[in-house]
Amino acid sequence: MEPPAMLAIFKREIQSFFTSPIAYLVIGLFLVLNGLFLWVFKGEFNIFEYGIADLSNFFLLTPWVFLFLIPAITMKSFSEERKLGTLELLFIKPVSIAQTVLGKFLGTLALGSIALIPTLVYVYTVSQLGTTIGNLDMGPVMGSYFGTVLLMACYTAIGVFASTLSDNQIVAFIVGVVLCFIGYYGFEGLSSIVDDGQTSLGIKALGMKQHFDSISLGVLDTRDLVYFVSVTGFFLFLTFLQLKNMNR
C-alpha cells in the first residue's frame, strides 16, 4: 500500500489516544512520577540532595518509568482488536499488515515522545541551579534524550508484539513489562553473576541498558544505534509474523 495508508493508521492511533483519557493519563503519570522523585521525595534521585546540577538522575529514572507506561499504552494495540473481533476486519481492508504494524508503532512512539517535551523545563531549571548559571553540559543531555527515544522505540516494538499474543490486555501488559525488563536490565543482572570477564561483557552488551548508558555519555556510537534499530526491527518483524499467521 501507499505510505498514506500507514499515515491514516498513525493518525487514527494518535486520535484514539487523545480522545480518551489514555494520553493525558500517561503523560501526567510520567511527569508526576519523575517530578516527585526528582524534586520532592528525599532519596538518591532527588536533585537537591544529589548536590550536582545535572540530569543524570532523571535519565536514570526515566527508563524504569517508561518500562511500565509504554506497555500500558501498547497493550490494547492488537489485543483489543482480537477481543472485539475487529482484527479480521483489519486483514480484509486494503492496508498491508506491515503498514498496520508500523502505523500503530509510530503512533505509540509519538505519544511517548510528546511526554518528553515538557521535561525540557528540567534542562533549563538545572542549568540555573549550577554554581555557574547556564554551565550545563548539553552533550550528555542531548545524547540522553536521543537514547531515551531509541529506548522507547524498543519498548514500543516489544509492547506491540506482546499485544498480539493474547486478547486479554492485562496479559499483554504483563508480558510487555517482563520482556522490556529482560531487554533493559535482565542481561545486565545476568552478567553480574558470571565470573569470566569477557563473557560477562558479552552478555551485558546484549542488553539495552549498556547501549543506553553509552549514548547518555553524549557520544553517538554507530554500534549503539545499530543495536536499538535491530532490536526494534526484530520485534516489529515478530509482530508481522504473528499477525500473518493469524490471518491464515
> Is 100 a member of any domain?
yes
41-55, 115-129, 219-233: lowest mean pLDDT where?
A: 41-55
> Is 239 a member of any domain?
yes
Tell which wins on pLDDT, 140 or 106.
106
φ/ψ region of 5 (left if φ > 0, alpha if ψ in -120 to 50, else beta) reads alpha
DSSP 40: I
Domain assignment of residue 230, given as a range: 5-243
Report how many domains make up the chain. Answer: 1
* pLDDT greater than 80 at residue 137: no
> Is 194 a member of any domain?
yes
Tell which wins on pLDDT, 151 or 42.
151
pLDDT band at 134 (very low <50, low <70, confident <90, very high): low
* pLDDT greater than 80 at residue 247: no
> What are 224-235's pLDDT values in tens digits?
999 999 999 999
Mean predicted confidence (pLDDT) in 107-127: 90
Q: Identify whether the C-beta of residue 206 lies closer than 8 Å to the C-beta of residue 75.
A: no
Q: How far apart are CA 59 and CA 215, in angstroms?
A: 11
Q: Identify whether the C-beta of residue 73 lies closer than 8 Å to the C-beta of residue 108.
A: yes
DSSP 219: -
C-alpha 95, offset from chain centre: 26
> Is 110 a member of any domain?
yes
> Is 139 a member of any domain?
yes
pLDDT band at 244 (very low <50, low <70, confident <90, very high): confident
> Is 159 a member of any domain?
yes
pLDDT band at 21 (very low <50, low <70, confident <90, very high): confident
The pLDDT, as a whole number, for residue 1 is 46
**DSSP track, 188-218:** HHHHTT---HHHHHHHHTTSHHHHHHHHHTT
> Is 248 a member of any domain?
no
Average pLDDT, the chain: 87
> What are 164-207's pLDDT values in tens digits?
999 899 999 999 999 999 999 999 888 888 877 788 888 999 99
* pLDDT greater than 90 at residue 131: no
